[in-house]
Amino acid sequence: MPRIISANLNGIRSAHKKGFFNWLEKQSADFICVQELKAQEADMVEEFLAPHGYHGHFHYAEKKGYSGTGVYSRAKPDKVSTGFGCVEFDAEGRYTRADVGNLSVISVYCPSGSSGPERQEAKFRFMEAFLPHLQGLQAEGREVVICGDWNIAHNEIDLKNYKGNKKNSGFLPEERAWMTRIFDELGLVDVHRGLDKRPEQYTWWSNRGQAYAKNVGWRIDYHVATPGIAATAHTVSVYKDERFSDHAPLIIDYAL
């Protein structure tokens, strides 16, 4: 009965100082997908590489202090791969995959376009390259869970101020339509939303103003899974009792 956690750390060193690894020890998780390491290999001390006996595997960005993903697994993976075959975004450390048996668990960090038009265009290029990769994953015939910060709120229920964000990165019509294609055309499943259809289930809050205190947030962290394992998911929670980052960990239990 695997427990899989997705957590954007907004800096692994920062999250460590805020108690992330102490919390992790108590979670009995089988896989933990982390994003936004903001670290290079030389920065990774033993406590980051193999905390509490986990096997850690990482994809570092070439640019210092930027991006980066990783997967921690309780069992040693049969195979690990980094990058999804797109030179531009593989250089940014956005994809780590671990295979254990017939299950593939992937940590992904999709680009944000909020810093300006140039990064939004990069985000669109990522979307164009990533969709056929997702199709290829399905063709492998494995059970797959893709965890991470997708930087897109899919529907109006997925962010507090949807009316004021329809022209902003993360809630653009093109971005939302792309997510719809993933679910409706490719047949992958938004596991969190399948289990919990309530509003205000946010995973990210701006550091500006009182966004966190007032729960003015966005749901941009997902478990996107193949239908077989998605159908076994039975419990979901967003952990907010402690703050390790501007994102909250998304925890889902499966009965695979």
CATH code for the domain of 196: 3.60.10.10
Q: Summarize the confidence of residues 67-93 as an average pLDDT.
A: 98
Give percent of the chain above pLDDT 90. Answer: 98
pLDDT-derived band at 209 (thresholds 50, 70, 90) equals confident
128, two tokens: 């164009």
Q: Is the dihedral of CA 126, 10, 91, 189 positive or negative?
A: negative
With a CB cutoff of 8 Å and minimum separation 6, the contacts of 244 are 7, 9, 15, 18, 19, 20, 23
Q: How many residues does the chain have?
A: 256
Nearest to 69 by CA among 53, 57, 87, 78: 57
Range of the domain at 9: 3-253
pLDDT-derived band at 256 (thresholds 50, 70, 90) equals confident
Strands (E), 62-114: 69-73, 79-82, 95-100, 103-109
The chain-wide mean pLDDT, for the chain, equals 97
Q: Summarize the confidence of residues 82-89 as an average pLDDT.
A: 98
Q: Which of 43, 78, 90, 149 is flagged as catalytic? A: 149
> Is residue 78 among the annotated active site residues?
no
pLDDT tens for 10-50 read: 999 999 999 999 999 999 999 999 999 999 999 999 999 99
pLDDT-derived band at 163 (thresholds 50, 70, 90) equals very high
Judge residue 12's burial from the number of C-beta atoms within 10 Å of its C-beta, 0-12 exposed, 13-18 middle, 19 or more buried.
buried
pLDDT-derived band at 1 (thresholds 50, 70, 90) equals confident
**pLDDT of 115 over the 80 cut:** yes
pLDDT-derived band at 97 (thresholds 50, 70, 90) equals very high
> What is the pLDDT at residue 246?
98
Counted domains in the chain: 1
Which 3 state secondary structure label does DSSP give 53?
A: helix
Give percent of the chain above pLDDT 70. Answer: 100
**pLDDT of 75 over the 80 cut:** yes
